[in-house]
Chain A
Amino acid sequence: MLLDRLLFFDRVPSVLTKALNFASKRNLLISSNIANVETPGYKASDVDFRSQLNQVLDLEGEMKLTSTNQSHLGPSRQALEDLEPEVFEEVDAAKSNGNNVDIDKEMGKLAENQIIYNTMVQLMVKRGSTVRAAITELPQQ
């Protein structure tokens, strides 16, 4: 869409949106881990979205991906759009009833995830206000 191309021509807004989605999904997973702390046979699950993003963004070194089309700029954004969270199960030692949820670790992860989520929201608001300042600042008549 033309408006998307005007306002969001770089990939940072989509990076932030994806990261926010993943962070809220991780929040749900950690909450369900904590809720299931007594359930026998339950294995804690988590999603490591930051390293997934790291792989897709490819921040170090030169851009290794080649463009298939002349009009494409840099690495394809499809890889970023199609990124889905990969849920994996924790490999901690299980208690006697088959449950391996470590309540302290889960609470720590919850707090950290909360901080990351809030920071991303603040960054998005800040960027949005910069763009809004460009649009609405009028010279005095």
Chain B
Amino acid sequence: MKDITLQTNLKGLQGPSGLRKTGLPNAADKVEGGPSFAENLAESLKKVNDLQKQADVAIEEFAAGKTNNIHETMLAVSKADLAFRLTMQVRNKIVEAYQEVMRMQV
């Protein structure tokens, strides 16, 4: 399972210099800058979508009688639901921050 915790995402944001300072192995192979914020965002959205698809597959497999583990199905669905709700709240915060910036008097 790929590591999609907040810590690794933040370390990726700092770029290769951030990773070298903390002494961890360099996750980004690029020479200049490392993955940008936009790429991280796109990749996170893709991961959320993948989680949703995995949950759908888990539900279908359970309905067809192929899994003997009910808890795996529930875990997959819960993970997808939580990831989706987290993304929604992140979107809300970004929109709110944008609106606050636009409200500023010049």
Contact = CB atoms under 8 A, between A and B. Distances in A.
Given A12-B59, A53-B65, A130 B74 contact: no
A139 B56 contact: no
A126 B64 contact: no
Interface of B: 56-57, 59-66, 70, 73-74, 77-78, 80-81, 84-85, 88-89, 91-92, 95-96, 99
A115 B81 CA distance: 22
Contacts of A137: 85, 88-89, 92
Contacts of A50: 63-65
A120 B63 contact: yes
Contacts of A94: none
Given A12-B60, A59-B66, 13 more contacts: A15-B60, A16-B59, A19-B63, A51-B64, A54-B64, A54-B65, A54-B66, A57-B64, A59-B64, A119-B74, A122-B74, A123-B59, A140-B96
A50 B63 CA distance: 6
Provide the main secondary structure of the chain B interface. helix
Interface of A: 10-12, 15-16, 19, 50-51, 53-54, 57, 59, 115, 119-120, 122-123, 126-127, 129-130, 133-134, 137-140
A11 B60 CA distance: 9
A137 B86 CA distance: 11
Contacts of A12: 56, 59-60
Query: Which of B62, B77, B81, B96: most chain A CB closer than 10 A?
Result: B62
